[in-house]
């Protein structure tokens, strides 16, 4: 009986978190962020929430996202939801639950990053991991963009964005990251395809490069070319805020530099 009560209490708490969307302010803009439970994704949530936005903060395991849930508990304009990039049916179901909600900006931040390891070295490639990297880092963001296309079309800003490595196919010039690098290069190409496909619908598609972000407590001076997560996210938000249709299909670094 005690175990049943605990399960019911947990279920009611999770429903309450997902129900925050019911208290979105209709006059406020809305952003959807994937991978929102930590690092860059969490900082996006924090800064957009502080600016008064409605925030749909998604991650693979909301029940384990303690810091995100604590932030949402103090702000009824944050809805914590589940998105697993490998679960396409789940993505469609979440999109259906937000069918009438305009989304001004969609930020595909979630992805699979690992390395260096032998399974990502040419000559010893782990082909089961090859499939997982591309399904997560390419097909996953594409599916999220397709599923929430109508929501973005309903929004005022009409922006779809995704985060990439920082230097595309040339990034991380050491062995052991081949699957990560090539999947992100494929994501860059897919972003270009979406920009072409949805230009007539007024949707702006941007690829964002956050730089070498320190998300584990390191000081910026401890690593060359490093940038604090707060500065990187603030820079990317400024880029999204001023985005124009002429920029659609572009890749932009966090500091506003256009990547050719």
Task: Tell me how far CA of residue 46 lies from CA of 53, 70, 78, in angstroms.
Answer: 10, 11, 10
Q: How confident is the model at residue 7 (pLDDT cuts 50, 70, 90)?
A: very low
Concatenating the DSSP letter of every residue in 36-103 gives TTSHHHHHHHHHHHHTT-EEEEEES-GGG-HHHHHHHHT-TTEEEEE--TT-HHHHHHHHHHTTT---
CB 31 within 8 A of CB 104: yes
Q: How confident is the model at residue 214 (pLDDT cuts 50, 70, 90)?
A: confident
Each residue of 38-79: pLDDT tens digit? 999 999 999 999 999 999 999 999 999 999 999 999 999 999
Residue with tokens 């897919």, as numbered in its chain: 190
Fold of 2-259: Rossmann fold (3.40.50)
pTM: 0.89
Can you list the positions of beta strands (E) in the chain?
Answer: 30-33, 54-59, 78-82, 105-108, 159-163, 204-209, 212-214, 226-228, 251-253, 258-259
Cβ within 8 Å of residue 231, ≥6 positions away: 254
pLDDT at 3 over 90: no
Q: State the Cα–Cα distance between residues 186 and 120, nearest whole angstrom.
A: 16
Q: What pLDDT shows up at residue 5?
A: 39
The 10 Å Cβ neighbour count of residue 134 is 17
Each residue of 127-137: pLDDT tens digit? 999 999 999 99
Task: Tell me how far CA of residue 32 lies from CA of 4, 5, 49, 172, 224, in angstroms.
Answer: 33, 33, 11, 29, 32
Mean pLDDT for the chain? 89
Each residue of 148-176: pLDDT tens digit? 999 999 999 999 999 998 555 556 778 89
Give 135's DSSP letter: I
Q: What pLDDT shows up at residue 21?
A: 42
């Amino acid at each position: 009986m005690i175990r049943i009560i605990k399960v019911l209490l947990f279920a009611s708490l999770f429903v309450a978190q997902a129900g925050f969307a019911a208290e979105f302010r209709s006059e406020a803009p809305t952003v959807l962020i994937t991978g929102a439970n930590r690092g860059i994704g969490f900082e996006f949530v924090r800064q957009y929430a502080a600016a008064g936005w409605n925030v749909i903060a998604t991650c693979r395991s909301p029940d384990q996202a303690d810091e995100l849930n604590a932030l949402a508990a103090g702000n009824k304009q944050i809805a914590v939801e589940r998105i697993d990039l490998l679960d396409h049916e789940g993505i469609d179901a979440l999109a259906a639950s937000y069918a009438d909600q305009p989304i001004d900006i969609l930020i595909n931040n979630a992805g699979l990053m690992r390395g260096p390891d032998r399974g990502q070295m040419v000559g010893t490639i782990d082909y089961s991991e090859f499939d997982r990297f591309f399904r997560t880092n390419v097909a996953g963001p594409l599916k999220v963009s397709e599923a929430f296309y109508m929501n973005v079309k309903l929004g005022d800003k009409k922006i779809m964005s995704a985060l990439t490595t920082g230097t595309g196919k040339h990034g991380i010039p050491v062995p052991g990251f081949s699957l990560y690098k090539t999947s992100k290069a494929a994501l860059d190409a897919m972003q270009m395809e979406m920009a072409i496909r949805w230009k007539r619908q007024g949707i702006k598609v941007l690829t964002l490069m956050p730089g070498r972000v320190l998300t584990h407590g390191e000081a910026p001076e401890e690593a060359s070319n490093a940038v604090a997560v707060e500065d990187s996210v603030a820079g990317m938000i400024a880029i999204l805020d001023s985005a124009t249709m002429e920029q659609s299909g572009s890749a932009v670094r966090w500091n506003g530099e256009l990547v050719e």
